[in-house]
């Protein structure tokens, strides 16, 4: 009888499903994470994370994002002489019908110039060029040169007509669409990917500015502005969902004049480099808001930044001053990710180890490498693993690991042979990083002299291995033996088809640790 009732129940359920498909529960799709890294994207590096039900669907979304970035660059790039923006710059005193994207960006610059009291201005390139020219002559710009540059910035450079969607270009001042434009392009790329592919979520990270869209909670590490290595301990970690993150700072680009470093971020109102702020990270629902505020907060006084952010709901920020002070918005703590095992947050100031330092923790190994890049176009970055082994070839420390899909991770065969068991239980390699923008293909990592468990290694001989591999493509392995013996030394490694150059510097630790 029970069997008969069960049969009747199942039959009725089947009939209900046939007559009313909406009444039947749909099987949940299993979404996997597909990761890709590119170089030469808007002059820097790009990270894509796509949550999709299949590799095919992830690829469709990825191609849509790449195509949208190319399309937007053809409109907004100041480095491409054939872009729409560059062609418009060559016009003068003429009403030119421009694309909706270029019109929107120019209009946003007008609005942000007012909102920041002149701290954001596309014509700040006038001042940047002056400082670059002076740096090439190893001198500071004269007072008269700065006064003339600021006066040129204050001139009107365009006028927009929303009715006809035209723009009139005035003068011949150099203009550069920086600040928030990278974030603007990132948002367009993320939207294009979501619409093109059957995906659950996407993260687009270009040069440290990113958008997280869809059903994804992403752990974001914030780079220490006093550290120059990719694998330095972050100063903070956030958990981000459906928001944009942007970081701007003076620690990766600028000019060295008479032994002093001058930021590439300048104050258009004074002509002076913005040196009082090391870094500003902003989280906002709007990508353009995040990008614009991150740059503006490097120029404005902290009191001005706090006031501006408080007038914009949902905006959170962290500002690091030149003295190392950390200024955060009231809601910043709510964004911070739970501290996980092996994920430690470093202070801005120098860490002091308890007790008398031994020789092994006074020194560090800095490794610089450059990825081989083609002159034009996007190029996928190879998988790269850098690790240390002892004299018995036992693994001591994974210094860094850059990879995409786990499916192809075994192609880093030498590293994978030693580390596959640890990797399956350690997700600390996978966080996205927000930082000031750096040049494409150039990386610095450090080994602080500790093993994978966080203990300082003993003095002695170690071998550094740099392994590079592509999905079913090339494979390269570089080795360099080094003695940890308190004697500073530098070494250059012979490049290969994937790593064009690599160098090592064994030295006393810097104060960023």
pLDDT on residue 407: 74
Question: For residue 262, is pLDDT > 50?
Answer: yes
pLDDT (mean) for 379-400:
93
Ranges of H-type helices in 137-240: 143-153, 181-196
Q: Cα separation of 15 and 276, whole Å?
A: 71
pLDDT (mean) for 282-286:
98
pLDDT (mean) for 294-306:
96
User: 């195509």: which residue's tokens?
Assistant: 67
pLDDT (mean) for 428-455:
86
Question: For residue 10, is pLDDT > 80?
Answer: no
Three-state SS at 328? strand
pLDDT on residue 250: 80
Question: For residue 52, is pLDDT > 60?
Answer: yes
**Residue 445 CB contacts under 8 Å (≥ 6 apart), including other chains:** 229, 230, 231, 366, 367, 386, 399, 400
Residue boundaries of the structural domains of the chain? 359-508
- Whole-angstrom CA distances from 363 to 36, 46, 227, 359, 509 are 34, 32, 15, 7, 5
Q: Pull the structure tokens for residue 255.
A: 């000019």
Mean pLDDT of the chain: 87
Q: Cα separation of 179 and 199, whole Å?
A: 30
Model confidence band, residue 9 (pLDDT cutoffs 50, 70, 90): very low
Say which range, 357-371, 445-459, 498-512, has the weakest mean pLDDT: 357-371
pLDDT (mean) for 100-109:
98
Question: For residue 15, is pLDDT > 80?
Answer: no
CA-based max dimension of the chain: 100
Q: Cα separation of 143 and 123, whole Å?
A: 19
Question: For residue 28, is pLDDT > 60?
Answer: no
Say which range, 124-133, 381-390, 433-442, has the weakest mean pLDDT: 433-442
In terms of pLDDT, which residue wins out, 375 or 509?
A: 509
- CA nearest to 34, candidates 52, 12, 11, 7: 52
pLDDT on residue 374: 76
Share of the chain above pLDDT 90, in %: 69
Model confidence band, residue 360 (pLDDT cutoffs 50, 70, 90): low
Model confidence band, residue 6 (pLDDT cutoffs 50, 70, 90): very low
Share of the chain above pLDDT 70, in %: 88
Tens of pLDDT, residue by residue over 113-172, are 999 999 999 999 999 999 999 999 999 999 999 999 999 999 999 999 999 999 999 999
pLDDT on residue 512: 52
Model confidence band, residue 69 (pLDDT cutoffs 50, 70, 90): very high
Instruction: List phi, psi (to 5°) of 51.
Output: -95, 110
CB 23 within 8 A of CB 422: no
Give the DSSP letter of residue 450.
B
CB 387 within 8 A of CB 415: yes
Strand partners, 504: 367, 491
Question: For residue 19, is pLDDT > 60?
Answer: no
Q: Cα separation of 388 and 401, whole Å?
A: 12
CB 435 within 8 A of CB 222: yes
Tens of pLDDT, residue by residue over 323-354, are 999 999 999 999 999 876 544 444 443 333 33
CB 125 within 8 A of CB 174: yes
In terms of pLDDT, which residue wins out, 32 or 428?
A: 32
Tens of pLDDT, residue by residue over 186-218, are 999 999 999 997 899 999 999 999 999 999 999
In terms of pLDDT, which residue wins out, 197 or 108?
A: 108
End-to-end CA distance of the chain: 74
In terms of pLDDT, which residue wins out, 113 or 251?
A: 113
pLDDT (mean) for 80-109:
97
């Amino acid at each position: 009888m029970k069997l008969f009732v069960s049969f009747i129940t199942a039959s009725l359920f089947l009939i209900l499903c046939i007559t009313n498909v909406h009444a039947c529960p749909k099987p949940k799709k299993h979404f996997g994470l597909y990761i890709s890294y590119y170089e030469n994207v808007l002059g820097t590096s790009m990270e894509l994370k796509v949550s999709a039900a299949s590799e095919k669907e992830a690829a469709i979304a990825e191609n849509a994002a790449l195509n949208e970035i190319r399309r937007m660059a053809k409109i907004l790039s100041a480095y491409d002489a054939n872009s729409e923006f560059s062609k418009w710059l060559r016009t003068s005193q003429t009403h030119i019908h421009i694309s909706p994207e270029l019109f929107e960006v120019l209009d946003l610059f007008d609005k942000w110039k007012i909102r920041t009291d002149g701290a954001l201005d596309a014509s700040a390139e006038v001042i940047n060029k002056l400082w670059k020219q002076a740096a090439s002559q190893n001198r500071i710009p004269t007072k008269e040169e700065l006064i003339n540059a600021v006066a040129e910035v204050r001139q009107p450079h365009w006028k927009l007509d929303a009715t006809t969607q035209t723009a009139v270009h005035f003068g011949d001042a150099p203009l550069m669409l920086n600040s928030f434009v990278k974030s603007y392009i990132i948002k367009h790329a993320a939207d294009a990917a979501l619409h093109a592919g059957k995906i659950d979520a996407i993260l687009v990270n270009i040069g440290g500015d990113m958008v997280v869209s869809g059903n994804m909670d992403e752990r974001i590490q914030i780079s220490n502005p006093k550290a120059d290595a990719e694998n330095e301990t972050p100063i903070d970690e956030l958990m981000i969902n459906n928001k944009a993150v942007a970081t701007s700072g003076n620690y990766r680009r600028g000019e060295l004049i008479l032994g002093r470093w001058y930021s590439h971020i300048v104050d258009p109102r004074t002509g002076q480099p913005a040196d009082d702020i090391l870094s500003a990270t902003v989280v906002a629902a709007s990508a353009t808001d995040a990008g614009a505020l991150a740059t503006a907060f490097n120029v404005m006084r902290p009191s001005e930044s706090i006031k501006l952010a408080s007038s914009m709901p949902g905006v959170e920020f962290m500002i690091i001053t030149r003295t190392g002070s950390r200024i955060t918005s009231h809601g910043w703590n709510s964004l911070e990710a739970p501290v996980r095992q092996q994920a430690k947050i470093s202070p801005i100031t120098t860490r002091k180890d308890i007790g008398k330092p031994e020789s092994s923790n006074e020194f560090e190994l800095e490794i610089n490498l450059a990825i081989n890049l083609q002159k034009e176009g996007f190029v996928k970055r190879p998988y790269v693993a850098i690790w240390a082994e002892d004299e018995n070839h036992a693994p001591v420390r994974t210094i860094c690991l850059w990879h995409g899909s786990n499916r192809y991770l075994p192609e880093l065969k030498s590293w994978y042979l030693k580390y596959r068991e640890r990797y399956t239980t350690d997700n600390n390699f996978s966080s996205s990083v927000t930082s000031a923008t750096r040049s494409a293909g150039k990386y610095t990592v450090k080994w602080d002299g500790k093993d994978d468990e966080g203990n300082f290694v003993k003095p002695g001989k170690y071998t550094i291995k740099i392994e590079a591999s592509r999905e079913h493509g090339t494979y390269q392995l570089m080795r360099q033996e080094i003695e940890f013996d308190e004697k500073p030394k530098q070494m250059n490694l012979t490049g290969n088809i994937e790593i064009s150059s690599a160098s090592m510097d064994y030295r006393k630790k810097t104060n960023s640790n």
